[in-house]
Amino acid sequence: MNEISKLDENVLLIILSLKDNAYIVTIKTKLEKYLNKNISLGTLYLSLKRLTRDGYIFTKIGEAVSKQGGRAKKYYRLTPSGVMKLKEIRRLHMLMWKNFDNLADKALENR
Amino acid sequence: MKKNRPPAAGQKFLRKMLPFNERKYITEGLEDLFAINLKDRGKALTLLWYWKEILCTTIVMIKDNLIGSVIMLKDYLKIAFRNMRKNKFYTLINFISLTMGITGSLLVLLFIDHELNYDKFHVNQENIYRMILEHPVKFAKGRTIFSSTPPAMKEAMVNEFPEIINASRYKNGPGIIKCDNDIYAVNNFKYVDPEFLSIFSFPLFNGDPGTVLSEPFSLVITEKEAIKLFGYQDPIGKTIIADGKYEFTIKGVLKDLPVKTCFDIGFLAPIETLSSIRGKDYLINWGNISFELFVELRANTDLMEFENKLPNFIKRHGYTGNPKDHYMFQEVSDVHLIGEEIDIVDNRRIQTLLLYSAVAFLILLIACLNYMNLTTARSTVRSKEVSIRKVVGAKRLELIKQFIGESIILSLLALIISLTVVRLVLPYFNDFINRELAFAAVFNAKIFITLLFLSITVGIVSGAYPAFYLSSFMPQKILKGSYSYNKKSGVISRNTLIIIQYVISIVLIICTFGIYDQIRYMSEMDPGFSKDCILTIGLRDQDLSSQAFLDELKKYPNIIAGAYSNGTPVRTWGGDLPDWEGQTEDEKETLFLNMQVENEFFDFYDIPIVEGEIFTRENTGPENRQYILNETAVKTIGWENPIGKRFRRGVIVGVVKDFHYSSVRNRIKPLWISRLSGKGRILSLKIASNDITSTLKHIENTWKKFSVNYPFSYSFIDEQINSMYETERKLGTSMTFCSLIAIVIATIGLFGLTSFIAEQKTKEISIRKVLGATVPNILKMFSGEVSLWIFLATIIAVPSAWFITAKWLNSYAYRTHLSLLSVVSAALIAQLIAVVAVCMHVFKTARKNPIDSLRYE
């Protein structure tokens, strides 16, 4: 399995959390809100491009709705392998962070 | 709604950056975000946010693109090398021709760089000037410039003009020096002012540059000369004898001069020495303009203004030269390139540079055309690759980039090989152009960048046409197999390229022949005097200029005759602006050359007297002299009956037939001859043509009996005549070489192309053979087409070659014309080479058994 960057990981999680409403505007807004920093459109676009290429997400053109000038949007969804990737990352994380509180406290006490 | 839209320019820019299928969603997304922001933060902040967004996106996209193209580059490189390996033959042809072209240009580039950078190493280089004199003289085509000043001018200028920091005179010194009983002839002994060493950056090994030249008869010597004279002993304090009687003491050693300087210095002595040798007045007069003057000016001096002050200045000081003389400043770095020329418009050095550059450019062009030709010819082979790339989604621009990239790679490789080749041939090239170019100059930043730029340009130029051609293929047609490669346009342009190549080659060949025509014409032309088995000896020693010496020589049977003179038919003695009976104001500035001879001279050199007689009276002084003119002089003056007319301070007694006393490049100029007064400086000897070696030995032995202070040297008249045509001969050699390279490159190109066509037409050939065609039939078929091309090329080439040759010949006063033979033989050579190249290849294919190529399984 390919390593993916922290940004790509976050984008995946955001898309997952947005469920049916993940398109470029919502992804960007939510990502910026969570990370509390500006993510440029280009950065996001390239990340989405990478994830699509690696098969973690797929796109779907939505139908034009009367709201917002009646434009069709491009929605992003996770593929099964995208979900698997997130699971894998989470498993690794859990492994790494196991017993963190305990260890951290001890490290501080020993000083 | 409209108000809430982001700036149109930004949106448009964003669209440009994004791939087609993503544009819509991204720009619309940004539009939505803009609207949301506008609600929350207000107009100004939103706009700020928007542009920041665009900027960040741009940066990210550029980064991404760069990474992408590096990856593609790796891919292109791989494909390029695979292609080269697959088509070794064609690659080799392209490679060889590009290498030849680049090597040629590289040599020329080095040469030009060398020539343009003389005397640039002096610290104050941009403020150092040489005084030059524009001198009105008739019979010169352009301006006439001399670097001559009177000796007193230096002191006066330094005193009067605050613009001058330092000034130094420069004059040739003695020609003979004696050191530990060895005698040397030198031409690099110069007299200078002590300031010379502070104006120019010629460092001393030891000694103070300010004082080493302060006393008369002190001497500074270069390292090279010191080693020659004294071996590895310390030369300081040693003495040498110059011209047999003047003793100089060595006070300092100069580091050897850099190669790129106009100065030829081995010995430097203070110019004040001359007032001890020649008398007190020698250095303070305003009449003898035989000194060069170098000045160092303050930075930012207005030269024009300064030059305008000079006419008044020299007049005030009693300058006795021509009142129309005009002094000017010449930058020291121009001295080498422009120098001192009778006809500055006709500057040979600059012309040679231009000529070499033009020829190098043409050769490079032929090499580029070769590449275009072979690559487009091979397009069938690569059309499938192109189609597949296109089907998979390559855009045309990417394909163009790929093909141009390939040619750039090839030309860069050629550059590397060229560097090696140049390294190897540079010594021979140096020998040929009489310079010392250093290979290390290649790595000088300026040249290196020019080189890289050159080979990349060559890559782009030669790759561009194939790139556009190849990338224009329609994949569906090619992959279906319905595409016809023999599309008319492709064939025509390929023929055109071949024709252009041959036009260039034929022009070069014809010009080369033209040059040789002129050389032959010049050397076969009757110079108007006899030149066989005549040698001249320069006599510096007064003891040699005596009848006794000649009598002693004549005792040897092989020495037939001898004559003393100042000046020989090959080299006149000097020039002046004489006056004569009935001279008009307008004729006052007519340049006459002159020489002084003994009466035997005319018989000796077989120069006929056409009117009057030879000298009847001894030459006793400047008054009442007898003069003999040449025919041109009489014509110039316009006398019908010249005998007895007053000329200078004497009378005309005779007229000689015109003879060519210098290169036939120049028209014969008016000449006056007077009788030798006192000792002659040149002895001409006519010797028998057998056993020349022992005759020379005898002359040398006799010389040694008469002179102990001077080394023996001689030269033959016909050699002197030949050396006048050295420039032409070198031009001829280099043009031969260049046209050879041109025709070779063009021919290997043609060779490659026919081999390809033959490959393509294997089936056609086989079917023709099956139907009864013979090998000669097939050869005729192919070579007929090629002959037509070459014929066309010849038709185009002849007028332009004729024009160029005529233009070149125009600079010769006595010239031949381009002979029909030269034109025809050039055309035939080109035809022959082309047809042979074609036949060699087609022959191979034509001889094959047709079954091999027609059978399917």
Between chains, do A46 and B60 touch, taking CB under 8 Å as contact?
yes
**Residue B98 domain-assigned (yes or no):** no
Whether B322 and B365 share a structural domain: no
Q: Which of B25, B50, B55 to mutate to test the interface with A (most CBs of A within 10 A)?
A: B25
CA distance B375 to B409: 14
B33 in contact with A, Cβ within 8 Å: yes
Distances (CA, A) of B574 to B627, B630, B670: 15, 15, 12
B42 three-class SS? coil
Q: List the 70-109 stretch of A: residues with Cβ below 8 A of B.
A: 71, 73-74
pLDDT confidence bin for A12, thresholds 50/70/90: very high
Distances (CA, A) of B313 to B162, B266, B308, B450, B475: 14, 34, 9, 46, 82
pLDDT of residue B143: 61
Bridge partners, residue B171, by sequence? B191
B13 in contact with A, Cβ within 8 Å: no
Which tokens sit at B359? 């020829």
Give the model confidence (pLDDT) of B767-818 as tens digits.
888 888 888 888 888 888 888 888 899 999 999 999 988 888 887 888 888 8
Nearest to B156 by CA among B34, B302, B327: B327
User: B19-51 burial string, b = 16+ CB within 10 Å, else e?
Assistant: eeebebbbbbbbbbbbbebbeeeeeeebbebbe
The β-bridge relationship of strands B650-656 and B682-687 is unpaired
Q: A41-50, A58-67, B684-693: which has the minimum mean pLDDT?
A: A58-67
Let me know: does A34 contact A17? Beta carbons within 8 Å: no
Give the model confidence (pLDDT) of B96-129 as tens digits.
888 988 888 888 888 888 888 888 888 888 889 9
Bridge partners, residue B785, by sequence? none
CA distance B138 to A7: 86
Name every chain A residue with its beta carbon within 8 A of the beta carbon of B48. none
**Residue A1 domain-assigned (yes or no):** no
CA distance B704 to B753: 69
Bridge partners, residue B146, by sequence? B133
B597 three-class SS? strand
Nearest to A39 by CA among B13, B60, B48: B60
Whether B429 and B562 share a structural domain: no
**Residue B315 domain-assigned (yes or no):** yes
CA distance B605 to B569: 8
Bridge partners, residue B268, by sequence? B190, B220
Residue A92 pLDDT exceeds 70: yes
**Residue B106 domain-assigned (yes or no):** no
Q: List the 417-476 stretch of B: residues with Cβ below 8 A of A.
A: none
Whether B371 and B507 share a structural domain: yes
What range defines the domain where residue B197 resides?
Answer: 127-336
What range defines the domain where residue A84 resides?
Answer: 6-109
Nearest to B261 by CA among B179, B161, B188, B357: B188
Q: Residue type for B594, please?
A: N
pLDDT of residue B117: 84
Searching chain B, which residue's CA lies closest to the CA of residue A67?
B32
pLDDT of residue B418: 92
Name every chain A residue with its beta carbon within 8 A of the beta carbon of B25. 23-24, 73-74
Whether B388 and B497 share a structural domain: yes
Please give the ipTM for the structure prediction: 0.80
Whether B709 and B745 share a structural domain: no
Let me know: does A79 contact A53? Beta carbons within 8 Å: no
Could you say which DSSP state residue B569 is in?
S
Cα B87 from chain centre:
39
Whether B585 and B703 share a structural domain: yes
Name every chain A residue with its beta carbon within 8 A of the beta carbon of B22. 45, 49
pLDDT of residue B420: 92
Which tokens sit at B831? 């035809």
The phi-psi region of residue B463 (left if phi > 0; otherwise alpha if psi is between -120 and 50; otherwise beta) is alpha
**Domains of chain B: total:** 4
Distances (CA, A) of B349 to B130, B241, B334, B662, B814: 19, 37, 11, 19, 21
**Residue B105 domain-assigned (yes or no):** no
**Residue A38 domain-assigned (yes or no):** yes
Give B59→chain A minimum CA distance, Å: 8
Q: Which residues of chain B have pLDDT under 50?
A: 1, 140-141, 342-346, 488
Whether B562 and B506 share a structural domain: no
CA distance B270 to B673: 37
**Residue B116 domain-assigned (yes or no):** no
Whether B655 and B714 share a structural domain: yes
The β-bridge relationship of strands B559-566 and B246-254 is unpaired
Q: Which of B2, B15, B18, B28 to mutate to test the interface with A (most CBs of A within 10 A)?
A: B28
DSSP B662-730: S-TTSPPPPEEEEE--S--SEEEEEE-SS-HHHHHHHHHHHHHHH-SSS----EEHHHHHHHHTHHHHH
Mark which of B718, B736, B766 sits at the end of a domain: B718
Bridge partners, residue B294, by sequence? B130, B168
Whether B736 and B698 share a structural domain: no
CA distance B366 to B379: 20
Let me know: does B260 contact B117? Beta carbons within 8 Å: yes
Residue A76: CATH number of its domain? 1.10.10.10
The β-bridge relationship of strands B176-179 and B182-185 is antiparallel
CA distance B747 to B749: 5
**Domains of chain A: total:** 1
3-state SS, B383-406, equals HHHHHHHHHHCCCHHHHHHHHHHH
**Residue B91 domain-assigned (yes or no):** no
**Residue B343 domain-assigned (yes or no):** no
**Residue B341 domain-assigned (yes or no):** no
How buried is B396 (Cβ within 10 angstroms: 0-12 exposed, 13-18 middle, 19+ buried)?
middle
Cα B625 from chain centre:
46
CA distance B720 to B699: 19
Whether B492 and B399 share a structural domain: yes
Nearest to B676 by CA among B565, B536, B568: B565
Nearest-10 Cα torsion for B5, B10, B13, B14: -70
